[in-house]
């Protein structure tokens, strides 16, 4: 069923709680309807999923398409794994609980991440030692320009840290469904240092890992219906080992992590905190760096996208001035 609305408020469609209006807003739970919409649409089209990783910096969007495709099904299995196809309009955490209830392992560390399934390959969502790319097998899309179906293998998705082919080609693909390869036996992933200590002794199961992750997220991350935010606003910056060593000798407490390509990842939260931003707000008092995790910018009420962006720019400037490291936003600016 398709619904077309004019001059539609996007306030309840973004977890930052920013006011913006769609000239035309199309929602459908049917792939043929979505395809027909794309075939005849004037560009640009904004495909809006759960709205949990974006910031509206302009007040209006010409055309917003909201795919409400639903369904989770088993599409294959071998002796060790199953293939699970989830439609893009499913709520991410519903898929996580669905898989845990059936003893399929691989998603438990990604518990409680806000948003819909369709966003997971775009952002290559990640948390607590796991990333979506660890379990994604393939992605089915519609090419926005002509509505044609286009499948992507995992390799074709070109996943990176909070990055993918889809993120690099924003506005070109609508994600229809994602197929995951999950394990029939529990494979604990306790790579994230804080996770093990959260687990009750000797009781490591998919359910207890989920519980621990949920607890950590609730402690550190603001709940968006209560406090508008889009999770981590910035990426953790990657620097050369030379630059990392130089910084480490000047700031011995600097947390360092290894990253792909021989680079070192710095903790953006730490850099921001060192610059004094933790718990601070802008002059108007409606935007701030969250007091429990300063990597998260929050809308204390009535902030515009521009105000959030201005505050983020100030943080980027001060971190660059102090550490010579330029942070990049993780959130998509619309």
Residues noted as catalytic:
162, 232, 330
- List the beta bridge partners of residue 131: 126
- Residue 112 burial class via C-beta count within 10 angstroms: exposed 0-12, middle 13-18, buried 19 and up: middle
Element (H, E) at 247: helix 241-250
Give the number of other CB atoms < 10 A from CB of residue 249. Answer: 9
The one among 88, 99, 141, 236 contacting ligand EPU by CB under 6 A = 236
- Pairwise CA distance, residues 195 & 2, whole Å: 43
# residues near ligand EPU by CB under 6 A = 18
- Lookup result for tokens 């080609």: 169
Q: Is 255 in the site for ligand EPU (CB under 6 A)?
A: yes
Q: Is 128 in the site for ligand EPU (CB under 6 A)?
A: yes
Q: Is 232 in the site for ligand EPU (CB under 6 A)?
A: yes
Only segment of 26-34, 75-83, 85-93, 269-277 that touches ligand EPU (CB under 6 A)? 269-277
Contact string (CB under 6 A) for ligand EPU, positions 157-196, x = contact:
-----------------------------------x----
CB of 293 to ligand EPU, least distance (A): 5
Only segment of 13-21, 66-74, 140-148, 231-239 that touches ligand EPU (CB under 6 A)? 231-239
The one among 293, 299, 316, 327 contacting ligand EPU by CB under 6 A = 293
Q: Which one, 10 or 127, has the nearer CB to ligand EPU?
A: 127
The one among 269, 297, 298, 334 contacting ligand EPU by CB under 6 A = 269
CB of 230 to ligand EPU, least distance (A): 7
Only segment of 5-13, 70-78, 86-94, 264-272 that touches ligand EPU (CB under 6 A)? 264-272
Cα separations (Å) of 89 from 44, 49, 50, 109, 286? 21, 7, 8, 21, 31
The one among 5, 102, 184, 220 contacting ligand EPU by CB under 6 A = 220
Give the number of other CB atoms < 10 A from CB of residue 101. Answer: 10
Q: Answer yes or no: are the C-beta atoms of 143 and 173 closer than 8 Å.
A: yes
Strands (E) in 88-172, as ranges, are: 126-127, 130-131, 136-143, 149-153
- Pairwise CA distance, residues 92 & 125, whole Å: 10
- List the beta bridge partners of residue 281: 288
Q: Which one, 47 or 275, has the nearer CB to ligand EPU?
A: 275
330: Cβ contacts below 8 Å, ≥ 6 apart: 53, 123, 162, 231, 232, 233, 234, 235
- List the beta bridge partners of residue 299: 228, 287
Q: Is 270 in the site for ligand EPU (CB under 6 A)?
A: yes
The one among 110, 117, 127, 289 contacting ligand EPU by CB under 6 A = 127
- Pairwise CA distance, residues 70 & 67, whole Å: 9
Which position's Cβ is nearest ligand EPU? 231
Only segment of 13-21, 83-91, 181-189, 287-295 that touches ligand EPU (CB under 6 A)? 287-295
- Lookup result for tokens 């601070």: 280
Cα separations (Å) of 29 from 8, 66, 68, 115, 296? 18, 9, 4, 17, 32
The one among 222, 231, 237, 305 contacting ligand EPU by CB under 6 A = 231
CB of 142 to ligand EPU, least distance (A): 26
Q: Is 235 in the site for ligand EPU (CB under 6 A)?
A: yes
Question: What 8-state DSSP symbol labels residue 7?
Answer: E
Q: Answer yes or no: are the C-beta atoms of 107 and 127 closer than 8 Å.
A: no
Q: Which residues bind ligand EPU (CB under 6 A)?
A: 127-128, 192, 220, 231-232, 235-236, 255, 267, 269-270, 273, 278, 293-295, 330
């Amino acid at each position: 069923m398709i619904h077309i609305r004019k001059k539609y408020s996007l306030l309840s469609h973004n977890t930052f709680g920013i006011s913006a209006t769609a000239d035309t807003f199309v929602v459908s739970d049917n792939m043929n309807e979505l395809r027909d919409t794309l075939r005849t649409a004037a560009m640009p089209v904004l495909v809006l999923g759960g709205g949990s990783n974006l910031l509206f910096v302009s007040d209006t969007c010409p055309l917003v398409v909201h795919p409400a495709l639903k369904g989770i099904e088993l599409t294959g299995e071998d002796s060790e794994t199953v293939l699970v196809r989830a439609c893009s309009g499913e709520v991410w955490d519903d898929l996580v609980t669905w898989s845990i209830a059936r003893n399929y392992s691989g998603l438990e560390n990604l518990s409680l991440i806000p948003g819909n399934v369709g966003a997971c390959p775009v952002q290559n969502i990640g948390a607590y030692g796991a990333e979506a790319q660890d379990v994604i097998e393939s992605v089915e899309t519609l090419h926005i320009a002509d509505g044609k179906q286009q499948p992507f293998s995992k390799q074709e998705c070109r996943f990176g840290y909070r990055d993918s082919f889809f993120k690099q080609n924003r506005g070109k693909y609508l994600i229809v469904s994602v197929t995951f390869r999950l394990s029939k036996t529990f494979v604990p992933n306790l790579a994230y240092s804080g996770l093990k200590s959260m687990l009750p002794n000797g009781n490591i199961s998919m359910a207890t890992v989920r519980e621990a992750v949920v607890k950590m997220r609730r402690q550190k991350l603001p709940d968006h219906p209560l406090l508008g935010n889009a999770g981590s606003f910035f990426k953790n910056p990657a620097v050369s080992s030379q630059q990392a060593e130089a910084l480490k000798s000047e700031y011995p407490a600097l947390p360092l992590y290894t990253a792909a390509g021989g680079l070192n990842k710095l903790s953006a939260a730490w850099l921001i905190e060192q610059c004094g931003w933790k718990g601070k707000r802008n002059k108007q008092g409606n935007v701030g760096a969250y007091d429990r995790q300063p990597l998260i910018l929050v809308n204390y009420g009535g902030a515009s996208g521009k105000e959030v962006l201005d505050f983020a720019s100030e943080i980027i400037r001060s971190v660059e001035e102090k550490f010579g490291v330029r942070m990049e936003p993780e959130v998509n600016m619309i």
